[in-house]
Amino acid sequence: MTQTLPSLNLASRMSRLGTETAFEVLARAKQLESEGRDIVHLEIGEPDFDTPANIVEAGRQALAEGWTHYGPAAGLPDAREAVAHYVATTRGTSVNGNEVCIVPGGKPVMFYALLALAEAGDEVIFPDPGFPIYESMIRFAGAKAVGCPIRESNGFALDPQDVISRLTEKTKLVILNSPANPTGGVTGRTQLEEVLAALRNRPDVWILSDEIYSRLLYDGAEHVSPLSDPSIRDRVILLDGFSKTWAMTGWRIGFGVMRQDLCEAITKLMINSNSCTASFTQRAAIEALQGDQSDVEKMHAKFDKRRKHIVGLLNEIPGFSCHLPKGAFYVMPNIRELGMTAKELQDRLLLEAGVAALAGTAFGAEGEGYLRFSYATDIPTIEKGLGRVREFVEAL
């Protein structure tokens, strides 16, 4: 006998929470695979490489040494110091260990920063297309999400005027992301400086700078962080982590760098949610920062090769045109000529061609007319997937 469950009666805030379509498409692809279908995965935003051996060994050793207990909520002091040193070196500013909060991934920095700072009546500017969790969390926190278009015509770099024209007296926070997901776009120094100049006389506006792809830059592109600007540093929350650079997605560790009093507020959110980031993971992360970097360089070189290869293949597909991105491990071809919506093409590619890719609209309304492919997979897989896309399109 089946029993009807009583109504869930979720709290109303849950209706404001979005999701990450990549996980949904992955689940649908896995379902098709369990039914015997062969699916080529070009949707997943994580390195296909295993975590470098020296980092795995540091984690193994930490487990053997008993780093299996609760640690301080803001992170182990040695890990906070190691991050402070890394950020000081890479962003050219001095950073104190107590300005660092170690959390389980890059995502919690968004979650906590928005919960700590944004509320009803506030506006938060976010990149569209952009990482879907920005809009989701802005809305969850009760604030108004104000999309800032990221345009192909601008090489998918941020156009400062698009941010500046959206600033109002209600703006509480501006989210920046370079190198960017899903476009691979990189915001240059002059563009960033123009945005910062406009924010200099707005001491009430915070900047959340998502720099999780800061080490994945190509063709000599430079990474510039608002944290490097002393005039604005006290209003910057830097988000970075280990998932992408060191292929550590499953370890769940990232960090935020921000002024000490905000760091303490975020530590309170950690105490109320995670208690702390796993201690052995933090020991492994110290090795990631301080140990041999040759695997990071090898992964980077492979990503660069795949980037050029995938863009070449995409541009050979009728109706596709793809810009060569300078960062991250994503490409965002324009598919407007095909006369289909991005979602329709996403669904048909999965079901009819056996290729998992993401509609640009999974990253915001401005993503209409684009697909996102991840090249965090090997060249034979890229060739197989794009061969299928080409066959599918040619048969339309």
Ligand X SMILES: Cc1ncc(COP(=O)(O)O)c(C=O)c1O
How far apart are alpha carbons 83 and 58 in whole angstroms? Answer: 17
Q: Which listed range, 52-60, 100-108, 115-123, 339-347, lies at the site for ligand X (CB under 6 A)?
A: 100-108
Residue 367 as a binder of ligand X (CB under 6 A): the answer is: no
* Nearest-approach distance from CB 281 to ligand X, in angstroms: 12
Residue 332 as a binder of ligand X (CB under 6 A): the answer is: no
CA 8 to chain centre: 31
Helices 260-273 and 107-117, interaxial angle, to 10°? 110
CA-derived radius of gyration, the chain: 21
Count residues contacting ligand X (CB under 6 A)? 13
Q: What is the number of residues in the chain?
A: 396
Binds ligand X by CB under 6 A, chosen from 43, 123, 128, 210: 210
Write out the two tokens for 374. Answer: 């991840």
Binds ligand X by CB under 6 A, chosen from 80, 91, 107, 235: 107
Provide the 8-state DSSP code for 3.
P
Binds ligand X by CB under 6 A, chosen from 51, 183, 214, 249: 249
How far apart are alpha carbons 43 and 29 in whole angstroms? Answer: 10
Binning the chain into helix, strand and coil, the percentages to the nearest 5 are: 45, 15, 40
Residue 131 as a binder of ligand X (CB under 6 A): the answer is: yes
Residue nearest to ligand X (CB): 105
Residue 177 as a binder of ligand X (CB under 6 A): the answer is: yes
Residue 243 as a binder of ligand X (CB under 6 A): the answer is: yes
* Nearest-approach distance from CB 284 to ligand X, in angstroms: 14
How far apart are alpha carbons 338 and 326 in whole angstroms? Answer: 26
Looking at the Cβ atoms of 250 and 339, the one nearer to ligand X is 250
Q: β-pairing, 254-257 with 100-103?
A: antiparallel
How far apart are alpha carbons 216 and 307 in whole angstroms? Answer: 11
Looking at the Cβ atoms of 186 and 353, the one nearer to ligand X is 186
Q: Which listed range, 101-109, 139-147, 189-197, 368-376, lies at the site for ligand X (CB under 6 A)?
A: 101-109
* Nearest-approach distance from CB 313 to ligand X, in angstroms: 23
Residue 241 as a binder of ligand X (CB under 6 A): the answer is: yes
Residue 282 as a binder of ligand X (CB under 6 A): the answer is: no
Looking at the Cβ atoms of 116 and 340, the one nearer to ligand X is 116
> What's the CA angle centered on 89, arms 85 and 93, to 5 degrees?
95
Binds ligand X by CB under 6 A, chosen from 181, 209, 225, 267: 181
Which residues between 42 and 71 bind ligand X (CB under 6 A)?
A: 45
Q: β-pairing, 236-241 with 254-257?
A: antiparallel
Write out the two tokens for 98. Answer: 């107590």
Residue 325 as a binder of ligand X (CB under 6 A): the answer is: no
Looking at the Cβ atoms of 97 and 241, the one nearer to ligand X is 241
How far apart are alpha carbons 137 and 121 in whole angstroms? Answer: 15
* Nearest-approach distance from CB 236 to ligand X, in angstroms: 16
Q: Which listed range, 104-112, 221-229, 297-305, 306-314, lies at the site for ligand X (CB under 6 A)?
A: 104-112
Looking at the Cβ atoms of 177 and 346, the one nearer to ligand X is 177
Looking at the Cβ atoms of 127 and 354, the one nearer to ligand X is 127
Strands (DSSP E) contained in the chain are 40-41, 100-103, 123-128, 144-149, 171-177, 206-210, 236-241, 254-257, 330-331, 355-356, 358-359, 371-374
Q: Find, among 194, 192, 208, the residue nearest to 116 by Cα.
A: 208
Looking at the Cβ atoms of 107 and 388, the one nearer to ligand X is 107
Looking at the Cβ atoms of 40 and 239, the one nearer to ligand X is 239
Binding site for ligand X (CB under 6 A): 45, 105-107, 131, 177, 181, 210, 212, 241, 243, 249, 254
